[in-house]
Every structure is written in C-alpha cells, then in structure tokens.
Amino acid sequence: MKSFQRIVLALLTISIQALPLLAVTEKEMEEARTITAKSYLRYVNNGSGYLDEINAKSMAELTPRLKAKEKENLQAFNAVKVPADYAKWDKKQLVEYWAATFFTSPGLDANGKAARSRVRKYIEGMTISTASAPQEAASSEQPQAETPAPVPAPAEQPAQSAEVTADTPDGTTPAEPEDLLAEQKEIEKAIEETRENREPEQSNTWVYVLVLAILVGIVIWLVVYAANLMKRQPGGENSHSSNGDGSDSELREQARKAIAAKNQELKQVQEQLQAAEARNSEIQARLEQANIDLKTLNESVARLKEENRQLRLRSQSDRTQEATRAAAPAPVAAPKPETRAAQPTSTQTPKTAPVAPAPSPRTIYLGRVNKRGIFVRADRKVTPGHTVYALHTNDGLVGTFQVVNEPGVVDLVLNDPEEYLGMGCTGEDLEDTVGVSAITTKSAGTAIFENGYWKVLRKTRIQYE
C-alpha cells in the first residue's frame, strides 16, 4: 500500500506541474478595482449602507449607481493610477496590491483605509483564469524542442558546395567565406521568421490535456487493481466484516430490545403521571365546588339567623302589647234596653317579616382573560367576536366558568388559542388546532368578583375534539 500511495502522489505532482499557470486578466483587474472602490466608499461614509446591496463587476456598472456623496469621495480613489504590468501578476500579487499597497497611496481618506481586511477577503474569493502569456511562451519553446536544430544545415551546405566546386572538372573558383556567412544568416533569419509566423494553434494546451487524461486513466487503473488485490487477500476485510456482522447484529438487537423496554417503562410512568394529574385536578375541582357550596350555605344560614332574630323581636313586642291591654281596667258599660248576642272577637295575629327569596343562579358570558387574570368583558348573552367563557354564579361573588362550546366561539378561539385560551385554560397541546371541531371542558374553572371585575382563581381544564 505504501508503494501504491507513492505512485499516486507522484502522478498528482506531475499533473499539477502540467497544469497551466494562472495570471490576472484585464477583466479580473477591473473586478478587483471595483471591489476595492466599493469597500473604500463604504468605510469613508457610514451612511452608505446601500452599497452592500450593489453587485457590480466593473467601475462602469458601479459609478452610475452611486449617490452624490460617494461620487465626490470616488474622485480621490480614481486619482490613484493602476499599474500597467498586472498581466504578469498572480493572485497573491493581486491581493497584496489592492489590500495593502493601494491604501498607501497619498490622497486617500483615512477612514477608507480601514477597508483593507474587507478587500482582502473578497479578492481572495475571486477565481483567476488561465494566463495567455505563459501559454505563448510555452508554445514558442515547444517548436524549439521539437525541431531537430536546423541551424547546422547551412553550415554543412557551404562545405558540400566547396567540395563540389573543388571537384568540378572545369576548375571554377570556390565561393568566398563572406558569401557563405551571408547565406547562412539569411537561412537562419528565414527559419526564425517561420517560427514567429506559426499560428497559436500550435500551443501545448492539447498536450497538457492529453497528459492529464493519460494520468487520470492510470490512477483509475491503479485504484481498481489495488481494490481487486485487497479482495483476493485471504482473511482480509471480507472475513473480518463477515465475522463482525454477526456480533454487530446481536449488539444492535440487544440495544433495540433495551431501548424498547425503556420506552415501555417511560410510557407507563407517563400514563401513571397523567392519571395522577387527572385525579388531582378532579379532586381540586370537587374541593373548590365544596368550598363554594359551603360558602353559599354559610350565607344562607346567616340570613336565616337574621330573619329568626327579627321574628323573635317582633313576637316579643306583640306579647308585651297584649299584656299591657289585659292589665288595663275595663270601662263600665251603661245598661241598654236590648241585649244583643255577643259577637266573636277577632284575634289579632302577629305579622311576620317576609322571608327573602333564595338567590337564583345566573349565567354571565365573559370575554378573554388578560395577563392580570381579569376577564375583559361581561355580557348577559353570547356576543359574537367577544364571548369566550360562560360563568355560573349563585350569589354574584363566586362562580365557576368554562369555554362556551358553540361553533362561533370555537372558531374564534381556535384562530388564536394563545390570545383567547392561554390565560384562562389549561390542557395538552393547546397550540395544535389542526382538525379540531369542538372543545370539551374536563373541569370548570373558578372565578371571584373583586373590585368590580371577575378574576380567575383557578383555570378551567379543556380538551380538543
């Protein structure tokens, strides 16, 4: 495996070296300048927050969208000249110039120089395209490497011509060395012109692509070969995985059973807790109802005692008056010529005080409950859009209340359960109103009339249906 890793690393190194270099183009230089200008203007004027919404790639796009203040500040920015040799830069030099060197230029605002970190961040996120200059240099070097040095050919040609001249039977004079040198220079010049006139299509880009394709194919083949080799090894991963699968499956099964048992226990505990809460709520409701009944009975007893006391006082007064009349001497009556039958005397019965009728129960329709626990509205009948609760009271001081289970009221409270039910009701998942058509009261709430308002003592417990 170590040898395999070394081969892969060597191939990756060769492929990286085969990739073309990166350099800055005019479009990328303009984009970096636009990023720097926008960041500079943003830091110069704190009120230029609208610049964060502008996405411009060039100064021509940015300038028309600036306000008057930013256009005025842009004059100092435009006064700094852009270097002309940026085509030879790489990405690091581009970032270093706009994020550091540019801000040392005179005439720039001191507040704008604080944008260095922002400029560095955005320009480092740019992508630099493939350079054309390095490709042309490579293309000019490749023909020199491919052509088998044609320069010596002219040197051989004069020698051959000299030999031919010397061997000619007519005995002509050999050519002069100056003429041979001139011819050699002309041939070299023609060769150079031919090289310079070659079209850019002879670039080595396709060579790089071909090399990369070959390297990728080799890497894929090596990966497949290594995978097949590892599968064929006895006692390798397959046997280990087959042995481990059984133990893992047993552990997973045991864990699943343990989790299921814990979930069942948790469910039982939750059910017991809910049952205990329900019993507690029912006991509290009965206790409060008993307290209300006891208070009503105590008031009735007090009223009866007062009526009995008044009756005793009146009876005692009547007896005193009768005793006074009996003790007084009867007047002597004059004889009359005729006697008449005595008429029965009417006995005067004492008048008893009228007994006050027992208070009759009545129902009051109340609105929602505010944060202080006070009902914000009271009506004698259901008022659409306002009525939420119905309160039943016997004495006008203490009563029980529950949610009015009518379609109009149900639709009203389900639209905003937190507003209409949150301060006056308790229950499970009151916010989940999907599919709810009715509201059932599990236990009525208790309210007291205090300082001219009905106030909640205990919330009513409800359930959605």
In a domain, 355, yes or no: no
Which span out of 160-169, 213-222, 312-321 was modeled with the highest average pLDDT? 213-222
Mean of pLDDT values over 27-37? 92
| Strand 425-426 versus strand 460-464 pairing type | parallel
Beta strand extents in 354-407 (DSSP E only) = 362-366, 378-379, 389-393, 398-403
Confidence (pLDDT) at 160: 40
Write down which residue in 79, 108, 124 finishes a domain: 124
User: What's the token pair of residue 101?
Assistant: 């060197």
* Whether pLDDT at 172 is above 90: no
Give the model confidence (pLDDT) of 373-406 as tens digits. Answer: 999 989 999 999 999 999 999 988 899 999 998 9
Confidence check: pLDDT of 3 > 60: no
pLDDT confidence of residue 60? 92
Q: How confident is the model at residue 315 (pLDDT cuts 50, 70, 90)?
A: confident
pLDDT confidence of 12, banded at 50, 70, 90? low
Domain tally for the chain?
Answer: 3
Enter the tokens of residue 357.
């009728």
In a domain, residue 331? The reply is no
**In this structure, are residues 94 and 130 in contact, taking their beta carbons and an 8 Å threshold?**
no
Average pLDDT over residues 106-117: 90
**Which residues contact residue 115 at a Cβ distance below 8 angstroms, ignoring those fewer than 6 apart?**
36, 39, 40, 42, 43, 103
Does the structure show a pLDDT above 70 at 234? no
* pLDDT at residue 335 in the model: 52
- What is the rounded CA–CA span in Å between residue 448 and residue 400? 9
The confidence score (pLDDT) of residue 446 equals 95
Between 129 and 282, the more confident residue is 282
- Range of 72's domain? 22-124
Mean pLDDT of 60-73: 92
Supply the pLDDT for residue 71.
92
Q: Residue 328 is encoded by which pair of tokens?
A: 């007084």
**What mean pLDDT, rounded, does the chain reach?**
77
What's residue 153's pLDDT? Answer: 39
Backbone angles phi, psi at 374, to 5 degrees: -110, 135
Q: CA-CA distance, 157 to 253, in Å (whole number)?
A: 92
**Residue in 89, 121, 115 with CA at minimum distance from that of residue 102:** 115
Predicted confidence at residue 341, as pLDDT, reads: 46
CB atoms within 10 A of CB 403: 22
Q: 377 and 284 in one domain?
A: no
Residue 336 maps to a domain: no
Band the pLDDT of 308: cuts 50, 70, 90. confident
Identify whether residues 117 and 28 lie together within a single domain. Answer: yes
- Average pLDDT estimate for 348-360: 53
Residue of higher predicted confidence among 12 and 175 = 12
Query: Is 27 part of a structural domain of the chain?
Result: yes
Give the model's pLDDT for residue 181.
63
pLDDT at 289 over 50: yes
Is the pLDDT at 356 greater than 70? The verdict is no
Which of 273, 288, 311 is the last residue in one of the domains? 311
Average pLDDT over residues 58-65: 92
The pLDDT of residue 283 is above 50: yes
- Is residue 109 in some structural domain? yes
pLDDT band at 22, cuts 50/70/90?
A: low
- Asked whether residue 186 is assigned to any structural domain, the reply reads no
Give me the percent of the chain exceeding a pLDDT of 90: 37
Give a yes or no: residue 67 inside a domain. yes
Q: pTM (2 decimals)?
A: 0.29
Top-confidence residue, 395 or 180: 395
Residue 145: per-residue pLDDT: 38
Whole-number pLDDT of residue 112:
87
Is residue 370 scored above 70 in pLDDT? yes
What does the pLDDT look like over 242-269, one tens digit per residue?
555 667 888 889 999 999 999 999 999 9
Look at residues 104, 124, 144 and tell me which one is the last residue of a structural domain.
124
| Residues pairing with 401 in the sheet | 391, 445
Higher-confidence position of 154 and 197: 197
pLDDT at 412: 92
* Model confidence at 134: pLDDT above 50: no
Return the sign of the alpha-carbon dihedral for residues 394, 396, 397, 403.
positive
Residue 320 lies inside a defined structural domain of this protein: no
Per cent of the chain over pLDDT 70 is 68
* pLDDT of residue 344 exceeding 60: no
Query: Tokens representing 242?
Result: 């087959």
Check residues 435 and 186 and name the one with the higher pLDDT.
Answer: 435
